[in-house]
């Protein structure tokens, strides 16, 4: 069994929950992926079949992040769809 | 020409006054703050005979602009001891404006124990004894008044908390379904109305003179630009109407900044159970009276409100906003949406601000009065307010008072007002706003236009302003929008769509005959901030009050494990202008 530190935990919201084993709205809908060499947020989206245009705010380990940001084993990614874009983004520095 | 309506509660008289030239281009917060500065002694007792309350629609309220029915209620806050503007949607703003009333000024105090209902319509003003309403919750007050008076009037009122003069008492405004849930909630202004003996104001604009628009053709054009921006932007046209503001529960939880169990963590394991996604789901599942995409006032196109249904489909409460869902949910360790809905309903009924109430309960939990997560216990505790018991009086007096009563030192307040749903250790920029705004810890004081957009029609320097300069620009823009009558949430669109920003400023100019540019927006906003700050200084505030509580500099907030470390000097920069 893969240890959780060897995977990337992708937390999905809204319509993206359909991609996770637990699709319930009141649960954590998480897909666990094995991290690959050179993974970025953009690559993770590709592997999940999510188009970047369909997303709004993406958090890597709780930090608002750009698509170019590198993703490693043990990381937590949170992906919000385009209809959940509400964020006072001027208070959040986008990391890349 | 609009007038100021002055109501004297000591002798129950009303008088219409001409608008002084200095108030010509003011509305909403700009007007209530200016009148407070001009008429309220900064060192007066906020519940005493020299206190006043000013109620003002915004500059464009009552005209056909989108999402423009916001109301400002201002005065000296019994909670912070400083100047306060509380802002609400609902029916009142537009109806007051359409009676050609620029502001209602309330002064004096009724004889002890006496309460009045003031009725305002096209024929004038009447003071009626409110014996039939005293002690009643706002749900019943609204119901009785719609039965008594024709034409589905606006109702501004206070619940039992206001009658008891509790420092967390808010001012209720009814919505289109005559629910009491639109609150000018923060800062305890409901207690001031209670001290004046004012239970309710009924406003019927039928047959009234309507609003005056200086340039109607241009107004239509400019308002259309704003409406188009709102209807095209993902936040204002999809996110807000579908999920409401409570979508932020999941977003802030993911960001690790959702204050949990009295600000001891930034992530809550039960967050998904009390989020906007869940509200949307429950509305779909339970049907009946449940709604998302609900407008809090006529003409709002963003419709971020909701009517949350009980399991049987009947309406439980309106509305479950982010701040309310958070303060009575994750902040209390509660993950049951139906419990949260009941807590919100109680707040709306007894007449208290949900943010302050939730943080007060969280503090009480931290102090051992009840356990974190104890939903039934929280409901029982909040219900004490309406009974007027000593425990109810403690909780109804807000977070800091409750902390003192229970020996709690983890007190998340600034200027005695409870912090909203963003932990400043994880979101430092908002911490700067919490610390430095004249309003006390306030999340709506510091919306902004991104530095790049500040250059629209103006000459701002977008090169790396300090956090202090940024927060100042944010607060100034917000103060301006708070004066227009437009809902603050238009910023989500006009921040990204320059024509929307132009439409906002252009419609304000066309309404009142001003010639403001983007630079003037900041100037006008800064002037409001400056006046408010002068009031606070005269009331005894110094820069030592522009600080976050000690524990936030010391206690690390998981999951980021950060403290608030913005230097005091940078905080002081915000108000150096």
The model's pLDDT over B387-430, given as tens digits with 9 standing for 90+, comes to 999 999 999 999 999 999 999 999 999 999 999 999 999 998 88
Is the link from the previous residue into B559 a cis peptide, with omega within 30 of 0? yes
B255 interaction partners in chain A (CB closer than 8 Å): 59, 62-64, 78, 92
| For residue B501, pLDDT beyond 50 | yes
Compute the nearest-CA separation of B246 from chain A (Å).
Answer: 10
Q: Residue B542: what are its φ and ψ, rounded to 5°? A: -125, 180
Please give the average per-residue pLDDT across B104-109, as a whole number: 98
Contact B299, B67 (CB under 8 A): yes
Please give the average per-residue pLDDT across B312-334, as a whole number: 97
The per-residue pLDDT for range B221-265, each reduced to its tens digit, is 999 999 999 999 999 999 999 999 999 999 999 999 999 999 999
Grouping H, G, I as helix, E, B as strand and the rest as coil, residue B512 is: helix
Mutate which: A17, A24, A26, A29, vs B, most B CBs within 10 A: A26
Q: Could you write out the three-class secondary structure of chain A? A: CCCHHHEEEEEECHHHHHHCCCCCCCCCEEEEEECCCCCEHHHHHHHHCCCHHHEEEEEECCEEECCCCECCCCCEEEEEEHHHCCCCHHHCCCEC
Nearest residue of B to residue A91 by CA position?
B429
The DSSP bridge pattern shows strands B198-203 and B116-121 to be parallel
Classify the phi-psi angles of B416: left when phi > 0, otherwise alpha if psi is within -120 to 50, otherwise beta.
Answer: left
B434 interaction partners in chain A (CB closer than 8 Å): none
In the block, tokens 């540019």 appear at B517
The per-residue pLDDT for range B171-219, each reduced to its tens digit, is 999 999 999 999 999 999 999 999 999 999 999 999 999 999 999 999 9
User: Cα–chain-centroid distance for residue B28?
Assistant: 12
Nearest residue of A to residue B427 by CA position?
A91
A88 interaction partners in chain B (CB closer than 8 Å): 422, 430, 447
Pick the closest to residue B179 from B86, B306, B66 (CA basis). Answer: B306
Nearest residue of A to residue B275 by CA position?
A26
Nearest-angstrom CA–CA distance, B489 and B236: 8
Grouping H, G, I as helix, E, B as strand and the rest as coil, residue B395 is: helix
Question: B461 pLDDT band (50/70/90 cuts)?
Answer: very low
| For residue A3, pLDDT beyond 70 | no
Mutate which: A15, A22, A25, A75, vs B, most B CBs within 10 A: A25
| For residue B459, pLDDT beyond 60 | no
Contact B451, B460 (CB under 8 A): yes
Q: pLDDT value at position B561?
A: 97
Picking from B234, B255, B280, the nearest residue to A85 by CB comes out as: B234
Q: pLDDT value at position B350?
A: 98
Which burial class, exposed, middle or buried, applies to B126 when counting CB atoms under 10 A from its CB (0-12, 13-18, 19+)? Answer: middle
Q: pLDDT value at position B14?
A: 98
Nearest-angstrom CA–CA distance, B388 and B159: 12
Contact (CB<8Å) B251/A80: yes
Question: A92 pLDDT band (50/70/90 cuts)?
Answer: confident
Question: A2 pLDDT band (50/70/90 cuts)?
Answer: low
Interface pTM (ipTM) of the complex? 0.96
Please give the average per-residue pLDDT across B526-545, as a whole number: 96
Q: pLDDT value at position B448?
A: 38
**Where is pLDDT greater, at A85 or A51?**
A51
What is the full DSSP assignment across B49-118?
TT-EEEEEE-TTTTSS-TT---EEEEEE-TTTSSEEEEEE-SSHHHHHHHTTEEEEEEES-PSTT--EEE
Nearest-angstrom CA–CA distance, B388 and B239: 40
Handedness of CA B40, B42, B44, B46 (dihedral sign): positive
A91 interaction partners in chain B (CB closer than 8 Å): 422, 427-430
Q: pLDDT value at position B573?
A: 81
Q: What are B462's two structure tokens?
A: 């977008």
Q: How many CB pairs under 8 A join A and B?
A: 80
Compute the nearest-CA separation of B123 from chain A (Å).
Answer: 45
The DSSP bridge pattern shows strands B101-107 and B83-88 to be unpaired
**pTM: predicted TM-score of the whole model, two decimal places:** 0.96
Q: pLDDT value at position B360?
A: 98
Nearest-angstrom CA–CA distance, B455 and B233: 21
Contact A19, A12 (CB under 8 A): yes
Nearest residue of B to residue A53 by CA position?
B234
| For residue B455, pLDDT beyond 50 | no
Contact (CB<8Å) B248/A86: yes
A87 interaction partners in chain B (CB closer than 8 Å): 248, 251
């Amino acid at each position: 069994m893969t240890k959780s530190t060897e995977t990337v935990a992708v937390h999905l919201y809204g319509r993206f929950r359909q991609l996770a084993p637990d699709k319930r709205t009141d649960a954590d809908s998480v897909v666990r992926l094995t991290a690959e060499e050179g993974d970025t947020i953009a690559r993770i989206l590709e592997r999940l079949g999510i188009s970047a245009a369909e997303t709004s705010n993406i958090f890597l380990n709780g930090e608002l992040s750009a698509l170019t940001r590198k993703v490693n084993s043990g990381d937590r990614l949170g992906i919000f769809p385009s209809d959940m874009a509400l964020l006072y983004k001027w208070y959040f520095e986008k990391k890349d | 020409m609009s007038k100021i309506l002055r109501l004297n509660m000591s002798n129950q008289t009303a008088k219409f006054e001409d608008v002084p030239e200095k108030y010509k281009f003011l509305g909403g917060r700009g007007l209530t703050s200016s009148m407070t500065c001009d008429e309220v002694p900064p060192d007066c007792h906020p519940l005493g005979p020299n206190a006043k309350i000013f109620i003002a629609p915004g500059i464009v309220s009552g005209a056909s602009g989108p999402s423009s029915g916001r109301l400002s209620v201002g005065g000296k806050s019994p909670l912070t001891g400083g100047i306060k503007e509380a802002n609400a949607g609902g029916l009142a703003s537009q109806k007051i404006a359409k009676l050609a009333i620029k502001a209602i000024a309330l002064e004096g105090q009724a004889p002890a124990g006496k309460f009045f209902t003031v009725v305002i319509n096209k024929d004038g003003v009447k003071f009626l004894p409110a014996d039939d309403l005293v002690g009643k919750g706002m749900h019943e007050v609204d119901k009785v008044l719609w039965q008594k008076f024709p034409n589905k009037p606006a109702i501004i009122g206070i619940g039992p908390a206001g009658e008891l003069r509790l420092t967390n008492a808010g001012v209720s405004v009814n919505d289109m379904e005559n629910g009491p849930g639109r609150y000018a909630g923060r800062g305890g202004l409901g207690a001031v109305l209670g001290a004046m003996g004012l239970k309710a104001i009924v406003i019927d604009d039928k047959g009234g003179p309507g609003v005056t628009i200086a340039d109607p053709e241009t107004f239509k054009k400019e308002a259309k630009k704003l409406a188009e921006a709102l209807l095209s932007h993902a936040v204002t046209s999809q996110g807000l109407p579908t999920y409401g503001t409570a979508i932020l529960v999941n977003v802030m939880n993911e960001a690790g900044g959702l204050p949990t169990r009295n600000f001891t963590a930034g992530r809550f394991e039960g967050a998904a159970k009390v989020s906007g996604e869940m509200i949307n789901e429950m509305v779909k599942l339970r049907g009946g009276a449940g709604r998302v995409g609900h407008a809090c006032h006529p003409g709002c196109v963003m419709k971020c409100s909701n009517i949350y249904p009980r399991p049987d489909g009947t309406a439980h409460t309106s509305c479950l906003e982010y701040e309310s869902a958070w303060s009575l949910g994750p902040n209390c360790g509660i993950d049951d949406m139906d419990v949260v809905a009941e807590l919100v309903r109680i707040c709306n009924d007894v007449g208290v601000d949900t943010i302050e109430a939730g943080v007060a309960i969280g503090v009480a939990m931290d102090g051992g009065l009840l356990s974190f997560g104890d939903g039934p216990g929280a409901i029982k505790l909040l219900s004490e307010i309406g009974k007027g018991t000593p425990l109810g009086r403690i909780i109804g007096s807000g977070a800091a008072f409750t902390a003192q009563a229970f020996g709690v030192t983890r007190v998340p307040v600034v200027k005695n007002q409870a912090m909203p749903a963003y932990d400043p250790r994880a979101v430092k920029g908002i911490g700067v706003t919490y610390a430095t705004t004249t309003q006390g810890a306030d999340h709506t004081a510091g919306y902004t236009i991104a530095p790049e957009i500040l250059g629209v029609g103006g000459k701002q320097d977008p090169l790396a302003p300090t956090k202090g300069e940024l927060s100042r620009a944010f607060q100034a823009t917000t103060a301006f929008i708070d004066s227009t009558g437009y809902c603050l949430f238009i910023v989500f669109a006009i921040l990204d769509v320059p024509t929307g920003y132009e439409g906002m400023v252009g419609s304000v100019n066309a309404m009142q005959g001003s010639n403001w540019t983007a630079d003037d927006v900041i100037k006008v906003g800064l002037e409001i901030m400056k006046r408010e700050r002068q009031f606070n200084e005269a009331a005894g505030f110094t820069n030592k009050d522009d600080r976050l509580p000690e524990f936030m500099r010391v206690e690390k907030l998981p999951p980021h494990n950060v403290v608030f470390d913005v230097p005091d000097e940078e905080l002081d920069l915000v108000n150096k202008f």
